Each structure stands twice: as structure tokens, then as C-alpha cells.
Amino acid sequence: MIRQRPLILLFKLTLISTFLSVISLPEMIQSAAPYWVMIFFIYWLIYVETKVVYSFALLLGLLLDLLHGNVFGQNAIALIGSAIFIVNVKKSFYVSNLSTQQVYIFIASLIYLIITIGVHLMIQGFDFSYLVFLAPITGAILWPIVHFLLAKIKH
């Protein structure tokens, strides 16, 4: 199924996605920026046979929390939530066309968003705005490009 060792691929994807996630962007674009680490992790999850999905999700999420200075565990729990959904639809995801995959990415991003907002609500409150839905939408829109580029990296 895959030509690289899973851990090497995960390392590469983590490196690229963390770089993308710490790049400083203008405020509006920042709100619309996709959850890069989650999207890259989903790609790895789909195309690699592994049994330690959630432990990797936990570690990646904690790495992201450290990089962004967030509450420790916030991204980890969000990434685990998205991973649970993707693992359940993995077979369907693998054989689906790109537009169906985009729907799956949107739902996974939405789960990620809802969990993140939930954590924020519990800790510091949250002022709702429809702008927060931009990130899942851009994530779904950019999925075909990400998929194409990651396929190049994979091989």
C-alpha cells in the first residue's frame, strides 16, 4: 500500500504541517487557515496500516499545544476526536472520490473545531462568530491539492 516506512512518512508530514501551522498570517487568513496538522494526520491515517493511531494523535496534539502555547491537551483531545471519526470511515474514505473525501475532511475538521471550542468554553469562555466555520471549509476545499502534493511526498 505504501512505499515508505510509516514512521518516516509521519515524521515528514508532521514536520511540514507544524511548519505550516506556525507561520504567522494576517488575522482574517488566520481564522480561515485549515487545521494543517489534522489534515496531514488524516492522510497518514488513511494510507498507512497502523494500530497506534490514538497514541500518535495524542503526541501530535501535545506537540501542537506546545508550539502554539495552548492549554496542554487541547489539540490532543481534538485530534483524537477527529481520528475516531476517520478510523470509523477509513474503508469508505479510501475508496471514495475526492469530493466525498472533502465531505469527510469537513466533518473531521468540524469535530476538531467543536472540541476546541468546548475546551475554550470550559476554560475562558467563547464569543461565537460564523467565521470559525471558515477553517473546516477551507480545509475541505484545499484537500484535493493537499492530497495531490502529499501523494508526491509519499512516493
Partner 1 sequence: MRLLKPLVPALIAIILIVLDARFSYLDNLKRNSTALLSPIYFLVDLPGQMMNWVSDKGSNIEHLIIENGQLTNELLELKAKLQIYNNLVLENQKISHLIDVSYALPKNTFKLARIKSISQSRLKKQLVINKGSNDDILSTQIVVGANGVVGQIIQSTPLYATVQLATDPTQHIPVKNVRNGARGITKGIASNEGGMKVEFMTFDADVKLGDTFVTSSIGGSYPAGYPVGKVIEISAPLDEAFLWIKLKPFENMNELEFVLVVSEPL
- Binding stretches for partner 1 (CB under 8 A): 18-19, 22-24, 27, 30-31, 53-55, 57-58, 61-63, 66-74, 76-77, 80-81, 83-84, 87-88, 116, 119-120, 122-127, 129, 131-132
- CA 71/CA 119 separation, integer angstroms: 9
- CA 79/CA 59 separation, integer angstroms: 10
Supply the minimum distance, in Å, between the C-beta of residue 116 and partner 1.
7
- CA 4/CA 24 separation, integer angstroms: 31
Q: Closer to partner 1 at the Cβ: 49 or 155? A: 49
Q: Letter for the amino acid at 28?
A: M
Q: Letter for the amino acid at 92?
A: S
Supply the minimum distance, in Å, between the C-beta of residue 113 and partner 1.
10
Supply the minimum distance, in Å, between the C-beta of residue 57 and partner 1.
7
Supply the minimum distance, in Å, between the C-beta of residue 153 and partner 1.
18
Grid cell 477551507 is found at 138
